[in-house]
Amino acid sequence: MLDMEVVWNLQYWLKMSSPSKRREMDVMKLMMSDYNVETINDGLNEFNVKFHGPKESLYEGGVWKIRVELPDAYPFKSPSIGFVNKIFHPNVDELSGSVCLDVINQSWSPMFDLLNIFEVFLPQLLLYPNPSDPLNGDAASLMMKDRKQYDQKVKEYCERYAKKEDITKSAADKETDDEDDITDEDTGSSDDEIAGHADP
């Protein structure tokens, strides 16, 4: 019988033997763990992952498409992670979806893998937002000033942007939907108004 330390060292050596093998192994491990992974351009450097909000959080029930880009030096260099559909969170840029997460941006280690991101790092980010290091200043400010209103806005975003059908729509479709949501009341016009004035 093999000693567990020997097994761990062997697994570590296999993981680290080549960045391309490690990339393949990590992506396959993610796929085998029941995550829905869609590759982009038939490669393993860019892909989207379907991510569910953690249980017992404001984001529970929400579904997001997470864009992952692996650099050539992965796992020695951290992946780029971003939300494709909108989320209201102090540490996620509302427009780009970029994530401000110390463990990914500054303290990444080759010992981490893609499963760590989806099973630990992202759930922790959603469970414990850090308003003192924001990418979304509005979310951070609201969270610190009025927690009840912040919680309500998070839930509204989940309802509006984080449903299963939202991750299957293209970005262009979603922008069209957002434009359609603007009502006459919002624009201050009505069907009764005339577009111009008739010449006398």
pLDDT at 111: 92
Q: Give how far Cα 7 sits from Cα of 11, 12, 42, 96, Å.
A: 6, 9, 33, 42
pLDDT at 3: 63
Q: Which of 100, 103, 115, 127 is flagged as catalytic?
A: 100
Mean pLDDT of residues grouped by 10 in the chain (200 residues)?
Answer: 57 61 91 91 90 95 96 92 96 94 87 95 96 95 98 97 78 50 43 42
Secondary structure (DSSP) of 144-198 = HH-HHHHHHHHHHHHHHH-SGGGGTS-HHHHHHHHHHT--HHHHT--TTS-SS--
Question: Nearest-CA neighbor of 92 among 155, 138, 148?
Answer: 138
pLDDT at 7: 54
- 100 is an active site residue: yes
Give the pTM: 0.75
pLDDT at 1: 47
